[in-house]
Structure 1
Amino acid sequence: MDVAISTLLSPIILFFLLGMVAALLRSQMSVPEAFAKGLAIYLMMAIGLKGGVEMAKNPITLEIGLVFLAGIILSFMLPLIAFALLRVTTKLDRVDAAAVSAHYGSISIVTFVAATEAVKLSGLDSSGHLVAVAALMETPAIISALILFMRGRKKSDVAVAGSERGELVREVALNASVVVLVGALLIGWITGEAGMAKVSPFFVDPFQGVLCLFLLDMGLSAGRGLRNGWRSLGPGTVGFGLYMPLISALITAGFCTVLPINHGDAALLITLAASASYIAVPAAMRLALPQAKPSIYLTLSLGVTFPFNVILGIPIYIYLAGLVTG
């Protein structure tokens, strides 16, 4: 309860709520798109650098490798579960169910950033290796979703999909979030603490304020998505956006019982698995499954699951991690 209250009353969550309420009330408040993209790049650079510096302090061991492997397996596996649930509990067709399932196997870096701050507020330690896990979990879910779709597609679709395969691979591998996150991670790893000290006035001290600005913009986006896209979502689909993160969290908690992982890292791994992508995967879906409806998959991930995770989910995941790590 203390973790939940401290998270809900933190500035980053309150600014997110301010943006969402403003959008739902049709306020004219807005953040320029170019500025918002700049904030996103800044946050990914800061998180990547911090993670790389932490990784430089300790060599990659077998225990860390097992956590990496668990992240990849989860990203491949969770879309399969999500797809099966969507087909049973909603009226979504195969292409929309596949597109949605991809979002729920990949990760939300902003949710991860918010969880990192919540873990700090809880007085828990976490390692920089989870940043690398976040990068590894970006893309396997996309592959799983495409496999799910291809199992039921018509033969006439094969030529179109094949002609775009190279562009899809390029979009997934060179997605801006992946490039910035992995690149900053490597830079932090190479330069270490000495390099971080040189840029800390820009990447460490202003971090909280920039995060508040970014979450204000995300709150505006989530509110607009709910206001404009709710008609595309039935009760079963909205319910999926609320219970799927909890299912993913429970499955990941099971993994954590056998992984050599501490409380803080387990909380972040559970959060990664329970989050839903709204940056990398939508870009890939526009190429791979253009017939899928963004009004469904983007509204669900950004308008339903993201607010749930940021407001209520993260405290639950921190508590759950404590149960499974002792």
Structure 2
Amino acid sequence: MSEIIIQNLLSPVVLFFVLGIMASLFKSNLKFPDGLSEGLSIYLLIAIGLKGGIELSHYSIESVIGPIFGALFLGVIIPLMTLIILRLMKMDLKNSIGLAATYGSISIVTYGAAITFLEKSGTTYEGFMNALVVLMESPAILVSLLLLNIIEKNRNVSEISYQSMKFIPAPAKLIDKEVIKESIFGKSILLLLGSLFIGLVLGERAVPTVKPLFIDLYNSVLILFLLNMGLIAGKRLPEVKKHGFKLLLFGLGAPLLFGSLGVFVGSLAHLSLGGSTLMGVLAGSASYIAAPAALKTSVPEANPSIYLGLSLGVTFPFNLVIGIPVYYEIAQWIVF
């Protein structure tokens, strides 16, 4: 295990991420232009979507139905588990929902780093795993907001029907249409789903066109993106301290719990060692793009310094350095 962690620590993607954190903590003037940061994010979303679609074109629906149901199951159960854990920790409802959506959704960059880790270790994985990234991006956000609306609806004072003299809950929408729109047509999901569809339709015909930019340069662009993520994570780290030790413990323990569950579900879906590892990575990661975008408009009372600070300042670096090798080791125990 220690050799795997050290090997991961010495990979370029991790070292550049650490460099970004150090630059931020030491107040360096290093920073990425907003346009470049946005461009790198768009590049990664398109690259992962295209590769997933091209690989998915090689598989029949029968071979992917099990992993698809496994991904959807994780997208539903993880936000529910997160909400229960945080409520037991006495966290208020709105911030609990914020973290449920954040930890139920996935980190596209953690997934990209895991692919690099597997390729470096010579471990193969199912090509359609990129397609599961799309499936796990939205469900947790919708489930979390659905739970919030159900809980709040049950708290509402019931109206009295004068005809039947029975208590009738006040009418309320379970999920606002704007939330659904953001969850399905937000930048990250739109690019992932659109690129996946294009890759699926074109198949191998797309390879000569997309390979020079979106395949050959992928790891190099990922390094730049992680350097920028290091700068951002370094700024978020002090915010986590404000919210106590229990929250920090959750940020470290949740990825191990959910990641282990993801590996187990991957093995039940008959995924390989690499595929089960990636399922664990997806389950153990936390969103800092899609979920925060939805929360900003739908749950404005949730504190961004909590769900962003924890996902980006604690869970993201933990997964990058320790989590990915741990999920790989757990997969070796379960799959073989």
1:164–1:288: 8 Å Cα contact kept in structure 2?
A: no
- Tell me the alpha carbon deviations over residues 169-218 of structure 1, each in whole angstroms, 9 at most, x when there is no partner: 11111011111111111111222223212231112222221111000000
What is aligned with 2:22?
A: 21
Query: Are 1:198 and 2:209 counterparts?
Result: yes
Query: Are 1:316 and 2:316 counterparts?
Result: no
What is aligned with 1:246?
A: 256
CA gap of 1:284–1:321, structure 2 versus 1, over 3 A, is same
Q: How does 1:1-326 map to 2 (within 5 A)?
A: 1-61=2-62, 63-89=63-89, 91-153=90-152, 154-155=155-156, 162=173, 165-227=176-238, 229-326=239-336
Unaligned runs of at least 5 residues, structure 1: none
Shift of 1:119: 0.9
CA gap of 1:283–1:138, structure 2 versus 1, over 3 A, is same
Q: TM-score, normalised by structure 2?
A: 0.91
Larger deviation: 1-10 or 94-103? 1-10
- Tell me the alpha carbon deviations over residues 61-88 of structure 1, each in whole angstroms, 9 at most, x when there is no partner: 2x41110011001110011111111122
Shift of 1:152: 3.3
Cα distance in 2, alignment partners of residues 201 and 258 from structure 1: 36
- Tell me the alpha carbon deviations over residues 207-261 of structure 1, each in whole angstroms, 9 at most, x when there is no partner: 221111000000111111113x134421101100000011112222332342211
1:103–1:277: 8 Å Cα contact kept in structure 2?
A: yes
Unaligned runs of at least 5 residues, structure 2: 158-168
- SS at structure 2 position matched to 1:233: coil
Shift of 1:286: 1.1
Cα distance in 2, alignment partners of residues 226 and 165 from structure 1: 33
2:87–2:96: 8 Å Cα contact kept in structure 1?
A: yes
- Tell me the alpha carbon deviations over residues 78-117 of structure 1, each in whole angstroms, 9 at most, x when there is no partner: 111111111223x421111111111111111111100111
How many residue pairs get aligned? The number is: 322
Cα distance in 2, alignment partners of residues 146 and 297 from structure 1: 15
Cα distance in 2, alignment partners of residues 264 and 15 from structure 1: 24
1:278–1:301: 8 Å Cα contact kept in structure 2?
A: yes
What is aligned with 2:164?
A: none
1:39–1:214: 8 Å Cα contact kept in structure 2?
A: yes
Shift of 1:15: 0.4
- SS at structure 1 position matched to 2:325: helix
1:164–1:287: 8 Å Cα contact kept in structure 2?
A: no
CA gap of 1:152–1:198, structure 2 versus 1, over 3 A, is closer
What is aligned with 2:163?
A: none
Cα distance in 1, alignment partners of residues 45 and 170 from structure 2: 36
- SS at structure 1 position matched to 2:268: coil
1:3–1:122: 8 Å Cα contact kept in structure 2?
A: no
Shift of 1:266: 0.5
Cα distance in 2, alignment partners of residues 141 and 231 from structure 1: 26
Larger deviation: 309-318 or 121-130? 121-130
Shift of 1:162: 4.5
Q: TM-score, normalised by structure 1?
A: 0.94
